[in-house]
Amino acid sequence: MVPGTTDAEKIRSLSPDGIFLSNGPGDPEPVTYGIETIRSLLGYRPIFGICLGHQLLGLALGGETYKLKFGHRGANQPVHNLKTGKIEITSQNHGFAVDLESLKAKDNDVEISHVNLNDKTLEGFRHTKIPAFSVQYHPEASPGPHDANYLFREFREMMKG
């Protein structure tokens, strides 16, 4: 575990199996040091981002973020998993979102994986060429209670492969 201000060179010197971008508060756009570090680490090791980490990964891939009118708060937020077709019950606490169209326009190798059923905002994406994916919600909070466990298994498999 390293602070968010840790640069890519220091992270590489630790030889991690994977890079987990955790949640955190606030507007992601001013976190330029984190965005640049993530950009430098793309393709180095598997990356999994949640909440703020999802937003920073989206920005590192050239997308944009915006402030939600009301934010997503609470433990019963329905999210559509586009790969499985299932609806996941998620826990969320954020006021910003990654702009779906900006992300798709900047990087055609990004695949949308999850969409919020309440307002159709982006809830998850993965890169099709490098091992990187993220979700906007908090899979560690287990609101489903096991709806999101597969994400951690998927990340472990990426690190093994």
Rounded Cα gap, residues 95 and 23, in angstroms: 12
Which residues on adjacent β-strands are paired with residue 90?
A: 77
Q: Which two tokens stand for residue 5?
A: 């201000």
pLDDT of the residue at 161: 80
Sorted by where each starts, the structural domains of the chain and their CATH numbers stand as 8-160 (3.40.50.880)
pLDDT of the residue at 139: 84
pTM of the model: 0.94
Rounded Cα gap, residues 48 and 54, in angstroms: 8
139 to each of 62, 136, 161, how far by Cα in Å?
Answer: 24, 9, 22
Are the CB atoms for 138 and 51 separated by under 8 Å? yes
Per-residue pLDDT tens listing for the chain (161 residues): 999 999 999 999 999 999 999 998 899 999 999 999 999 999 999 999 999 999 999 999 999 999 999 899 998 899 999 999 999 999 999 999 999 889 888 767 999 999 999 999 999 999 999 999 999 998 877 666 677 789 999 999 999 98
49: Cβ contacts below 8 Å, ≥ 6 apart: 20, 21, 55, 56, 57, 132, 133, 134, 135
The set of catalytic residues is 51, 138, 140
